[in-house]
Structure 1
Amino acid sequence: MKPLDRNISVLEHIVSYCQQIQETVDRFGDDYQTFSTDPIYRNAAALCILQIGELVGKLTEEFRARHSSIPWRQIKAMRNIVAHSYGTVDPETTWEIITDDIPALQQYCLTVIAAQSE
């Protein structure tokens, strides 16, 4: 698979996890109080964040350098925090990620994907 194809495939998978996060918010409610007190809700979101971080590691260095407006390194770092913190990730931080950062990441990925198919 050519690098461009690989990067687009990775972005498509990232979009899928972003959509799953949105579906999780839709299912449980767009409410921080519910999120902060429901471990199932938090774990569902955290797993998607973990997967997104894992996928970011599969993007080529050239792609990440060319698209430097996205904090790829921080996304990957968050994956490591989620994976190795054993349930101690700050709910407020996770909430901010799923309500602010994930929609922006999804839109960015969709824009890049659309530009490649033109």
Structure 2
Amino acid sequence: MVLNKIVEYCLRIENNLSRYAYNFESFEREYLFQDACCMCVVQIGELVSQLSEEIKEQNSAIPWRIIKDTRNFYVHSYGSIDVSSVWNTLLYDIPELKNACETILQK
């Protein structure tokens, strides 16, 4: 199921953050760290586009459109991504998305 895959990518991000001890300076410096996390965000955005309209409507508190738009921005503007904004997405938005998807899956 698509929601399970989204949760898996959220977990990959969580694992990457843990591997680097949630250290922003490492994220700024290590392109592999950045690339790994950004690729997961891109995959999450791609998966969101595969969700049914019914699931999106039943869970309208989740900003599905923003998630997809973030994917598009990462793909088309990668050279100009603000590292601090990405970091905040990884720390705050991804865990919220993971929790929301897990809640939907439990229903």
Asked if Structure 1 and Structure 2 have the same fold, meaning a TM-score greater than 0.5 normalized by the shorter chain, the answer is yes
Partner of residue 68 from structure 2, selected from 43, 63, 76: 76
**Higher Rg of the two aligned structures:** 1
Partner of residue 50 from structure 1, selected from 20, 34, 42: 42
TM-score (norm 2): 0.95
Runs of 4 or more, structure 1, over 2 Å off, are: none
Count of residues paired in the alignment: 107
Query: Which runs of 5 or more residues in structure 1 are unaligned?
Result: 1-8
In 2, Cα distance between equivalents of 1:69 and 1:26: 28
- Residue 85 (structure 1) shift: 1.2
Query: Is residue 105 of structure 1 aligned with residue 97 of structure 2?
Result: yes
Partner of residue 53 from structure 2, selected from 44, 58, 61: 61
In 1, Cα distance between equivalents of 2:89 and 2:16: 14
The residue number in structure 1 matching 2:26 is: 34
TM-score (norm 1): 0.87
Partner of residue 88 from structure 1, selected from 69, 73, 80: 80
SS at match of 2:79: coil
